[in-house]
Amino acid sequence: GIQVEQSPPDLILQEGANSTLRCNFSDSVNNLQWFHQNPWGQLINLFYIPSGTKQNGRLSATTVATERYSLLYISSSQTTDSGVYFCAVESTGGFKTIFGAGTRLFVKA
Amino acid sequence: SAVISQKPSRDICQRGTSLTIQCQVDSQVTMMFWYRQQPGQSLTLIATANQGSEATYESGFVIDKFPISRPNLTFSTLTVSNMSPEDSSIYLCSVPGIGTNEKLFFGSGTQLSVL
């Protein structure tokens, strides 16, 4: 089945810093989503982005489907950005969504 | 978007017992998915629940351990049977949005601890 790899696995930032999280996938995808899981375990949809670029406030994401990767940009990070960021993909020809291992982010005040 | 209610939100159970988790969606959906998130890990798909047919289980998950019911298009249950401490996890149900190529929505999850 499709493989999803996220990097880096862990990231520590000083408040106000910028960061880029990467998601590589091994096969063509129908869907790609970025989620933020907050410290209380809640999964929050950030972006639905099978291709192209989207922006939402301090966050933006780009997916280059032909090269099988997606990037999540966090600018001017805040302590509330802490948590785990997951990339999740649905491969073509299937209805299952597979998650990457996640990037664990800690933003220091 | 879809609104998903999961019950219970958390529970502490004794080994050897079973727990049934309920998932209610505010709209009719063809497929519902059940995921497990072990402590510090990512989400792993347990099974896909289709209305009117048996659930489809992923490798490593079996019906005897995780029986699933799907009596209608808005409701599903997952039972964690004969629990052991290794079953301590967050269990989440999810549904796709309406239409094709729609994003996945998640319930708030059930935090299960097995003593």
pLDDT digits (tens, 9 = 90+) for A63-96: 999 999 999 999 999 999 999 999 999 887 777 8
Residue B102 pLDDT: 63
Mean pLDDT over residues A21-39, rounded? 93
- Cα gap A34→A25, rounded to integer Å: 13
A chain contacts of residue B50, beta-carbon cutoff 8 Å: none
Q: What is the mean pLDDT of residues A21-41?
A: 92
Q: Which residues of B touch A100 (CB under 8 A)?
A: 42
CA B33, CA B31: separation in Å to the nearest integer?
A: 7
B51 pLDDT exceeds 90? no
Mean pLDDT of chain A: 94
Residue B98 has pLDDT above 80, yes or no: no
| Residues of chain A contacting B113 with CB distance shorter than 8 Å | none
Question: What distance in Å separates the CA atoms of residue B66 and residue B70, rounded to the nearest whole number?
Answer: 13
CB–CB contact B43 A99 (8 Å)? yes
Check CB contact under 8 Å for B101 and A101: no
Looking at CA atoms only, how far is residue A78 from chain B in angstroms?
Answer: 22
| Greater pLDDT, B53 or B73 | B73
The pLDDT, as a whole number, for residue B47 is 96
Q: Which of residues 48-107 of B touch A (CB under 8 A)?
A: 48, 58, 90, 92, 94, 96, 101-106
